[in-house]
Each structure stands twice: as C-alpha cells, then as structure tokens.
Structure 1
Amino acid sequence: MTKNNKYGHIRSFKDFENEKILLHYQIKLAEKKLEIKQLELKEYINPIRFFTSMFNEIYRPAFDLLRSVIMHFVEKHKEKINEEENKGK
C-alpha cells in the first residue's frame, strides 16, 4: 500500500465494516456540530436581541442624559422654592 492511503489498516471485511461505522458516526457528529453552530448563529442574530442591544448601546445613554437634565432642572426648581420660603420667614 502507498504511504498516503489512510485505509491501509483495513485487512478484512470486519475492519471495513468497523471503518464504515466509524465514518458514519463521524458524519453524524459533524452534522450535530453544524446544527449547534447554526442555532448559536440564529441566537446571535436574533432581531429581538439585536434591538435590545441597540437600545442598550444607543438609546439608554441618551435617556440617562435626559434624566440627568430633568433631575438638574428639578433640583434647581426646589432650591428656588426653598430660597423663596426662607425669604418669607
């Protein structure tokens, strides 16, 4: 047999049958791994997950900024009311 023959270990029909079963299971394993990768990819590019990620990356900081501006305005308004109450006493 030649050096590059990867089936040189087959000497009988029993060895051939074992090799055939081994290759069958290797194919099944490769198919299952491919299915898992496909499911992982679908999970990764899921539109709901995508929009949630976009919200967290873009809109949440904008909402935080808006909230801080509103809180600053409310605090200024409270300070102004407190100053007016203190002047009245």
Structure 2
Amino acid sequence: MARSTTSMKKKSYTRYSDAYRQEALALADRIGVAAAARELGIHASQLYQWRSKAQFQQDTSEREQSLAEENARLKRQLAEVNEELAITKKAAVYFAKSLK
C-alpha cells in the first residue's frame, strides 16, 4: 500500500497508488465504507470519490465498446450497400447496351 506525499505551500497532499485505491475499494465493499475508512485512516468521502471515479471509468469503457460494435455494424452495412450499388450499375450498363 504505497503512498507518497507532495507539499504545496501550507497544505500537504497524499497521493495513493492505483493498486492501493483498488484494494481500499475492495475492502470497502467487504466491510463497508465507514469501517474501511476508519481502518485505513482516510475520510469516507475519499472512498466515495474513488468509487465514483472507478464506476465512471467502467461506464466509459462500456460506452466505447458499444460504440465500436455499432461502428463495425455500420461499416458492414455500408459495404453491403456499396456492393449492391456496384451490381446495380453493372446491370444498368448491360441493359443500356442491349437496348441500342
């Protein structure tokens, strides 16, 4: 559980590693946010912020995946329409020649 401290003027900030945050969130899921915060010596609001940020990142990943799936579907659909258009053009040329 690594943490590093950086100082800016009068305030001191502690930065927690991603692994520490994940472990803290797992602990909060097991024993509750308030108990986990007391055990880790941090504010419960910090755990809630970490949880909402993790949820947002997960939602973003799901959104990106659904957009990628839709993009692939639309590309397939466009290829099919282009193929149908090419066939229609060839047929139009063929029938135009046979009419002359």
Which residue of 82, 87, 92 maps to 1:60?
92
Return 5+ residue gaps in structure 2 as ranges.
1-5, 7-44
Give TM-score scaled by structure 2 length: 0.48
Task: Tell me the matched-pair count.
Answer: 57
Q: Which has the higher contact order (CA 8 A, sep 6+)?
A: 2
Among 49, 66, 73, the alignment partner of 1:15 is 49
Gaps of 5+ in 1: 2-10, 70-89
Matches within 5 A, 1:23-34: 23-34=57-68
Residue 42 of structure 1: SS of its match in structure 2? helix
User: Per-residue CA shift, 1:30-86, capped at 9, x if unaligned?
Assistant: 00000000101111223x861x2222222312312322x2xxxxxxxxxxxxxxxxx
Q: Which has the larger radius of gyration?
A: 1
1:44 partner letter: L
TM-score (norm 1): 0.53
Please list the CA deviations of residues 5-40 of structure 1 after superposition, one character each: whole Å capped at 9, or x if unmatched.
xxxxxx711100000011011001000000000101
1:12 is paired with a residue whose SS is: helix
* Match in the other structure for 1:78: none
In 2, distance between residues paired with 1:20 and 1:57? 52
Report whether the alignment pairs 1:40 with 2:80.
Answer: no
Identity %: 4
Bigger share in helix = 1
